Amino acid sequence: MDKEYTTLKFIQKIAKSIPDLYAGNSGGKDSAVLDFLLQKSEIKYKSYYCNTTIDPHGTVSHIMKNYPHTDILQPKNKETFFKLVERKGLPTRLNRYCCQYLKEFGSVGKSVFEGVRAEESTKRQGRDYIQCDTRKWQKKAKHIYPLYDWTEKEIYNYIEKYDIKLAPCYSNGFSRLGCVGCPQVTRKGVRMKEFESHPKYLESIKRAIKKGMENNPQWKITQLADYNEDVAIAWWLSGKTMNEYFQPNQLKLFI
């Protein structure tokens, strides 16, 4: 049995047992394959895209043009990534608070098909095809992963086979679609490369952290960077913890 067949059967089986299904459409290649399969399965579902406000250029218009059935959800109180940085500081790999405000709010209380694949990261391996969200604020959301065992090669072969249109970032040198400069990305140089093609995003983040530090002298970053937004951004892009990044420099002052 091929992957398409077993995945369609899985989707149809889910539709028989779980009412009111949703699909999270990030605009990325896995979401594109997932949506294609959901359409092909002829089940009923509602699709949504969470506007992170920092996705690669052209993502929102790609969704609007190619997925007219996908609702575009805006962040609560129109609080963009930049406003969040101003209010709460720069998110990090260990404190990725922005996901809750910009992405995960979409699934609260819902049963949602998502394009998560095991191969993407070790963190994603060992999950089940259906995962019940145990975080209280998610109000018993269920995450359903029909593509869980698909490899990247299978995804690209499927895209080619059915000539599925991808978001513009893929033809602009990006290998993934996600928030530009996301601190979860650890591969060296990737974040900087993303900002090089989206310099206005980086400028806006700089302005936001500058304001944030001015309003929050008690923040650790305010003290360590001494209100200097360039220093704060250099630390943020280093991917290091504040202790790893700042301590050696501070120690030098005492020698």
Residues at the site binding ligand SF4, with contacts judged by CB under 6 A: 52, 91, 96, 98-99, 102-103, 178-179, 182, 184
Which contiguous run of DSSP H or E holds residue 132? strand 130-132
Q: How far is CA 190 from CA 121, 180, 202, in A?
A: 16, 10, 14
Judged by beta carbon, residue 65 or residue 93, the one nearer ligand SF4 is: 93
Which one, of 50, 53, 27, 25, lies nearest residue 180 by Cα?
53
From the CB of 15, what's the least distance to ligand SF4, in Å? 28
CB of 57 to ligand SF4, least distance (A): 15
Contact call for residues 62 and 168 (beta carbons, < 8 A):
yes
Nearer to ligand SF4 by C-beta: 3 or 88? 88
**DSSP per residue over 168-208, as a string?**
GGGGGT-SS-S-TT-TT--STTHHHHHHHT-HHHHHHHHHH
Query: CB 191 → ligand SF4: shortest distance, Å?
Result: 10
Closer CB to ligand SF4, 131 or 184, in the complex: 184
The dihedral of CA 173, 124, 24, 36: what is its sign? Answer: positive
Q: How far is the CB of 214 from ligand SF4 (least distance, A)?
A: 23
Nearer to ligand SF4, 29 or 41 (CB): 29
**Nearest-approach distance from CB 95 to ligand SF4, in angstroms:** 9
Kindly list the distances between the CA atom of residue 253 and the CA atoms of 103, 247, 248, in Å, as whole numbers in the listed order. 42, 10, 9
- Is residue 227 a contact partner of residue 220, using CB atoms and an 8 Å limit? no
Centre a 10 Å sphere on the Cβ of residue 190 and count the other Cβ atoms it contains: 15
Q: How many Å apart are CA 254 and CA 150, to the nearest integer?
A: 54
Cα separation, 128 vs 54, whole angstroms: 30
**Residue 178 CB, nearest approach to ligand SF4 (Å):** 5
Nearer to ligand SF4 (CB atom), residue 37 or residue 233 = 233
Residue closer to ligand SF4 by CB (options 25, 41) is 25
CB atoms within 10 A of CB 170: 17
Min dist. Cβ of residue 228 to ligand SF4 (A): 23
Residue number with CB closer to ligand SF4 (184 or 228)? 184
